[in-house]
Structure 1
Amino acid sequence: MRLILRILGALIATLAVLLVVLFMLPGEKVAGLAADQIEAQTGRKLTFQGKVRFTLWPVLGVKSDGVALSNADWAGPEPMLTAQRLSIGISAGDLLRGKVRVTEVSALLPHLNLSENAQGQGNWVLGGAEGEANPTAVAAENQAAVLPISIEKLTLTGASLRYQPRQGDAVEMSSVDMVLRWPDPSGTVNVDLTARPAGAPVQIQAEVGTFADFLSGAVSSIGASVAAEGGMLRFDGRADLTGAASGRVTAKTTDTAMFLTAFGQSGIALPQGLGQAMMVGADATYTTDGRIALRDVTLDLDGNKLEGAVDVVLSEVPQFTAQLNGGHLQVPGLSAAEASAGADSSASAGWSTEAIDASALALANGTAVLSFKSLTAAGYAFGASKLSLSLDRARAVLKFQPAALFGGQVQGQVVANNRNGFSAGGKLSFNGIRLEKAMAQVAGYDRLNGEALGELEYLASGNSVDALMRSLSGKGWLEVNKGFFTGFDLEQLMRSGQGNGGSTVFERLSASYNIDKGNLHNEDLLVTLKGIRADGSGRIGLGARDLDYRFAPTISGLNGAAGLTIPVAITGPWEDPKIRPDLKNALQPEIDAVEQEAKDRVIEKLSEELETEITPEVDLNEVIRDRIEQEAKDQLLRLLQGN
């Protein structure tokens, strides 16, 4: 809208200059004189590369080929306006009465070269501000020759333009067609404009009230509609020539991607639920320093309704602040497979090694707060939640304040940082969440079921999901009351040694853990079942997606007797772990006890035979050797004594 207003102002100001020249007197000689007058009045040089002549048919008027108007001194050597041909139709009756009423102005292949200087002044401002004009240099007789002029209709065919704002990249357009109707000099202007910024036509219809005042810098009522294949946009409010505006903005699209393509924004594919078709309404205010304030915002994105307020500062990196509230939101276009593109299509293939593109984190800076009653997206089902997203120099922080997720509540934050390579981290606490849902979404593991509370702190870095999972570090703890494992039956395992398949129901589970280089290490797992206590320790490979874990379930003995413990080994990949009893370790304590009992009996018997107390720390061979030596000495002594 700002660009359209400035183009209109520049066109009208320039055409007014040209009309003064063309109607002062006929002929090339007079055209040269008029050009000198215009240069004195505006500081701009007007040149005619062809003849300036009157026409009688089909319209009474004048025609000039090859018209050019020079640029401001600070804007460079290129002309501000060039046109291959300029034709002007006039009212003969009004001309006889000393008034010029232009019935039609037609410009063939005109080109506008618009720009702003560092102070925000446009090169279409003729004279005045820069002191370029020198009206006193015009002779009195020539000043009196200038007739009052109004323009009734303006037609541009095949126009092109280049607009270089004070900040940002230049905007270029070609193949622009425009019809401007201004029947009442003190009234409203109606504009029909067709632009082709990306090839497809974009239709713009605008109405500017009290257009003469608008051109002089006053604020005027503005209404404008922009239509292209796939949607339309409407503005109703007030604006001035600088582009400052306020009013109501409404938009409706049936195909948002196609609508954006018409403006050169191709390749933007929004998931269903995020605005493949949308309706937007807002009270908008725009100021010339690039600030946009949207109030009373209403959004309908494929049936998802939101309302709130948004503030945007247009700069090299846009700044934003948003507060939005929604009802029951659904984004079916974000499937669980797309969002977790974590594991490859083959489960056994492991995590995805495809490079992560996190460049979008640097597109803007700001904070957005979203509250809703429910949200279903990417396999996640949120209840009533409040989420806050902050972007700051390619670092995103998503805060749960709190979030109803996985059947419970999650508080804390997660971070994605792309400032110097990609990394991710977070610190979360959770209460009442369903483990089968949480672990399936986060780690692709769904064999542990139950309602849990706990904490998790983690950090990972790498340019793929595989690299992130293999670099993962952190710590945490969890407690679960009443749940079950799937994939093995611990009671059946204890009875028969065959426990693969089925499930194990437990009354309580608790554990703490540390994570290092993608491996979760736990040494204090405690699971209690009916009549069974199971302790556990080992490694869970989060990066390699494998297990190396030991359970030690103990069946309680009768009447206080010692229970039976049969360790269980769980090893192998997550998708097909091997679960088997460790019978060797299970029987080793009994073997050790029998062996010790046998040793004790032998030692006791030897003590009686050798008449020497033998303790466990004494070397048995040495005792026997000493006994033999003593017996030999005794026998020799008897022999020498004659016994």
Structure 2
Amino acid sequence: MRLIRVLLGAVVVVVVGLIALVVLLPGEKIAQLAADQVKAQTGRDLVFEGDVGISWYPVFGVSTGPVSLSNADWSEAGPMFEAESAAIGVDVMAAITGDIRITKIEAVAPVVLLEKAADGRVNWELFPAGGEAAPGASTATSQRQISLESLTVKRARLSYVDHGGDRFDLDNLDLALAWPGADAPAELSMTARPAGHDVDVTATVGQLSALMNGDVSTLVTKVTAIGGTVDFDGRVGIAPEMAGRLVADLSDATVFMGALGLGGGVPGPARFEGDVTLTRDLAVSLRKGVITGLGNAVQAEADVALGGVKPVVTANVVAGRLALGGAEGEADAPVSGAGGWSKAPIDASALALIDGQIEFGAEAIDLGDMVIGRTRATVKIDNARAVATLHELQAYDGVVTGSFVANNRSGLSVRGDLNVAQIALKGLLGASAGIDRFTGKADVVASFLSSGASQYDIMNALSGSGNVAVGRGTIEGIDLDKLFRGDTSGGTTVFDSMSASWSIKGGVLRNEDLLMELPRIVASGIGDIGLGQRVLDYTFTPKLRSEDGSGLAVPVRIDGSWDNPRIAPDLDALLKQNLDEERKALEEEAKKKLEEELGIVKEEGQSTEDAVKKKLEEEASKGLLKLLGNN
């Protein structure tokens, strides 16, 4: 019992002595103790200005006026941390044993500057990796442990400066950190207001001391803002590096991005989930990615290298059915007239944002006016030039292969080389040009080239060439058989085959060899199709078949706009053609009479003109001989 009383008495003496030490020790000495410990651990200068007050209940510590923490020795931007006032509480017993156990830090209106040097060094590496002492730290203190039980920050300003890249600032930031011990998880909560709305962040850091020493730690975090939430569960390091599952569940992606102070985002709900990895050399990978938005869902895997001048992307994107038609704002785009091409400037700046290669596949794509089927394509982007290679594009019962190039290196230009096999004309022409009078399956080979700042400019500067061959089909709105019987009331023409070639210059397609075969009729065509102005100026001439080729022909004129073309017999051409036929008939009759009167007998293959000429030469020779007296 006596031994116990002695021990209790010793404890009381120690406690009373410590209380007396706290009461009698000046505040400046406490501040200096804290500054010395920080210097020993980090090599940084912790500076207190103004009066330093001491508190001993309920927490031993100091309250200060302005306080600052020096920056990395390579920085010239001033302190890394400074605040109008601060309160710091420490565990005296832990300090006596050599560790730093901070029980409380409160900071009012602090300014935090995070910097990344052009060579990759960062100023927030306060504790050297691998247990080495910081510059200025003793080997005795470099092994001490640090913990922070409570950190409260109000009205903070955070600035991030990348001397080789971007800068951003966050104002009016509130933060609270609870870290009961070096081996215990740290709980973090933060509220930022980058665009006036609260953005709340909660996080659990599994090994904060390891994280601060340059190692990795488990991290579970959640970002909540108006419009949605983002969750991450994985491991992180301040290198930076991370690996884990990322899930973004957004009720309105545009609103959420706006709350973060960022533009973009798709309107309406969207969701992203996938396994994300970021390595120290700024290589990002996505695996098992699923992205939904605008009623669509795609699966994606990607690798992105961020260490260069621009991101280099290698990705594989697979979708089921995509609905991409009816984009918001299309109705307001200025156009050249009713049914004309849009004059709205085309923003092709996105071509310069990345380089790389993207593999794409979809079972169907609904573009609004046009629906295409199974699609397999590769897009390669290099210095604002994208080349899309179509391995397979099923559309309107046919298959399209080829390539398409969009080049925005010095103004936007486009080029295409396409091969189309057995595509249905009615669906294709109806969707692309508003022309629904033709049916049949077509094989097409086409190339085109153009440049311009809008759809209107591109279509009016178009050049190229191509040819088409069509099997059995129809032309609605005209019946050639009825036309030859004098009936111009319309109907449908059924043909056995059709072929044509064309050239394009200045947005005008020129065709001179259209040939259409029918059982009783053969038809030809010649004229222009204004791809830029969306007008037609074409003459289509059907002709009754006959053995001698003299069958009746009825030219048909097709002109006007694509939306409402005029189709009618060309009476002027028909009259001229009939007069020509009558003239030819009269000429033949006159030649026969002349031959009979002159007694001309034509040799095989000899024309009437040649026979008459020879007869006249013979008669002239006879007359000349008589004149010379030669019988």
Same fold judged by TM-score > 0.5?
yes
Q: How does 1:242-391 map to 2 (within 5 A)?
A: 242-266=239-263, 268=264, 270=266, 276-314=268-306, 315-334=308-327, 338=330, 344=336, 346-347=338-339, 350-391=340-381
Q: How does 1:511-550 map to 2 (within 5 A)?
A: 511-550=500-539
Amino acid at match of 2:438: L
Amino acid at match of 1:134: G
- Where does residue 450 of structure 2 map in the other structure? 460
- 1:186 maps to 2:183: yes
Q: 1:57 to 1:40 in 2, by over 3 A?
A: closer
- Where does residue 79 of structure 2 map in the other structure? 79
Q: 1:343 to 1:497 in 2, by over 3 A?
A: farther
Which SS does the other structure have where 1:593 is aligned?
helix
The TM-score, its normalising length taken from structure 2, stands at 0.83
- 1:156 maps to 2:147: no
- Tell me if the contact between 2:39 and 2:137 (Cα under 8 Å) persists in the aligned partners: no
- 1:172 maps to 2:189: no
Is 511-520 or 107-116 further displaced after alignment? 511-520
- Where does residue 472 of structure 1 map in the other structure? 462
Q: 1:530 to 1:618 in 2, by over 3 A?
A: closer
- Where does residue 17 of structure 1 map in the other structure? none
Q: 1:32 to 1:214 in 2, by over 3 A?
A: closer
Query: How far apart, in 2, do the equivalents of 1:534 and 1:115 lie?
Result: 77
How many Å apart are 1:373 and its aligned residue? 2.1
Q: Deviations over 1:287-346 (max 9, x none)?
A: 1222111112223334533224111122542221111222233335448x9499796461
How many Å apart are 1:155 and its aligned residue? 0.7
- Tell me if the contact between 1:567 and 1:586 (Cα under 8 Å) persists in the aligned partners: no
Q: 1:93 to 1:461 in 2, by over 3 A?
A: closer
How many Å apart are 1:579 and its aligned residue? 2.5
- Tell me if the contact between 1:83 and 1:110 (Cα under 8 Å) persists in the aligned partners: yes
- Tell me if the contact between 1:24 and 1:34 (Cα under 8 Å) persists in the aligned partners: no
Instruction: Give me the identity figure in percent.
Output: 36
Q: 1:421 to 1:97 in 2, by over 3 A?
A: closer
Gaps of 5+ in 1: 1-21, 609-613, 635-643
Amino acid at match of 1:168: G
How many Å apart are 1:355 and its aligned residue? 2.4
Aligned-residue CA RMSD (Å): 3.7
Q: Deviations over 1:587-613 (max 9, x none)?
A: 1342122321443366357648xxxxx
- Where does residue 14 of structure 1 map in the other structure? none
- Where does residue 17 of structure 2 map in the other structure? none
- Where does residue 135 of structure 2 map in the other structure? 133
Q: Deviations over 1:395-422 (max 9, x none)?
A: 1222211111122110011111111111
Query: How far apart, in 2, do the equivalents of 1:165 and 1:99 lie?
Result: 34
- 1:603 maps to 2:594: yes
Q: 1:56 to 1:469 in 2, by over 3 A?
A: same
- Where does residue 11 of structure 1 map in the other structure? none
Query: How far apart, in 1, do the equivalents of 2:30 and 2:266 lie?
Result: 61
Number of matched pairs: 586
How many Å apart are 1:225 and its aligned residue? 1.1
- Where does residue 48 of structure 1 map in the other structure? 48
Query: How far apart, in 2, do the equivalents of 1:98 and 1:516 lie?
Result: 85
- Where does residue 545 of structure 2 map in the other structure? 556
- Tell me if the contact between 1:120 and 1:166 (Cα under 8 Å) persists in the aligned partners: no
- Where does residue 423 of structure 1 map in the other structure? 413
Q: 2:583 aligns with which of 585, 592, 595?
A: 592
Amino acid at match of 2:554: I
Q: 1:281 to 1:40 in 2, by over 3 A?
A: closer
Q: 1:599 to 1:564 in 2, by over 3 A?
A: same
- Where does residue 66 of structure 2 map in the other structure? 66
Amino acid at match of 1:81: F
Query: How far apart, in 1, do the equivalents of 2:165 and 2:40 lie?
Result: 34
- Tell me if the contact between 2:128 and 2:214 (Cα under 8 Å) persists in the aligned partners: no
- Where does residue 449 of structure 1 map in the other structure? 439
Amino acid at match of 2:559: T
Q: Deviations over 1:63-87 (max 9, x none)?
A: 0010012222321141111011101
- Tell me if the contact between 2:334 and 2:344 (Cα under 8 Å) persists in the aligned partners: no
How many Å apart are 1:163 and its aligned residue? 1.4
Gaps of 5+ in 2: 1-21, 600-606
- Tell me if the contact between 2:127 and 2:214 (Cα under 8 Å) persists in the aligned partners: no
The TM-score, its normalising length taken from structure 1, stands at 0.81
Which SS does the other structure have where 2:582 is aligned?
helix
Which SS does the other structure have where 1:73 is aligned?
coil
Query: How far apart, in 1, do the equivalents of 2:241 and 2:65 lie?
Result: 36
Which SS does the other structure have where 1:427 is aligned?
strand
- Where does residue 120 of structure 1 map in the other structure? 120
Q: 1:218 to 1:486 in 2, by over 3 A?
A: same
